[in-house]
Structure 1
């Protein structure tokens, strides 16, 4: 027996091939949020990756960044994410990697780079200009910080290479104390690493591989755990001074 149904057979959407295609397909998806009184949740959307570079191929994913409005509540964001994500792959005819950016949230490295290279497919260019400027400043500051840290690390590693000769030539006022030049350099390095804004902290997470170069320094510091004060500052300007009893392994892990 043949089963009959009145459900219409919907055509399979063609694969999006250009940014214009993406914009045309995305507008109805975002407009549908109005049915649930969430029309103002999405302020802007853009593509990055291969489509933004005009280097897409038949195998390319769509890399989509969605900027949320300042007044979006947690519930708004939750339901908007569900509504949008449920439709994207089918709507675009391709796999879609979608990232949501809340207003004013700390920018991790991936989202920062995405904003720098994004092209608008929905919403106002003014949103991208404002947030892209923030990303540009943060990215430049992060690159400068990493280069500075690498320079400081190289200086300290050079001191460690000469450690035996320097210790024999340096008068230490107390036993179990690092040579002053090395202690000062280590303290400066740690303070520089951990004096940062919330944005900078999110960016720093990408550079754990760079910080792994501190391992030789950590081992030396752990030989002298009793005499080196650590002064740490958070992004909010709170200051804490303490003495490390276990070296800096916990701080740099």
Structure 2
């Protein structure tokens, strides 16, 4: 689970990884015979009983640096990824982060550029990045279902993936995602919830050297039971 790729000097939430660090992390994967792919490609391979050498790479929030910086690095290392974007904040910024810094979000052209890149999947992160566990019925429906409709119309493709803002979910939110027609949804640590609509992820940041990546990989496999239905 990545977010932004760029300058890490002002990063209070530790959500940014530098281009150099991302490049080293991708090389670390490839040296071990692993390849980063989109979640759609990973799940399709798993459904065929394959994909042991594949790692799902995700980028939350849809910052403009995904197109400007991340995609060229992914291409250089033969990797794909899923970027979860916010169609309710096109060309906007991360106003939900009170400590900043302000970062630009992808607009229509940026999303289309990402969708056109080989191996890149567009998923929904909701409309505006709100805690869905606290959302009313109408807001929940708009954030989940309407965001899928808007992205499908924009890209001309079936948007299959959803990512819970902040990683927060409960049974009600998970049901709304399933009912909206998504094929899967990503969380962070979904606790007792399991399955393709509560996929756990490991946060990767600037401090994650090769040693830390190795430990995160091993500890994650020990801590999380196998995902049912994936």
Is the TM value for this pair above 0.5? no
Larger Rg: 1
**Normalising by structure 2, what TM-score?**
0.28
Q: Which one has a larger percent helix, Structure 1 or Structure 2?
A: 1
**Normalising by structure 1, what TM-score?**
0.26
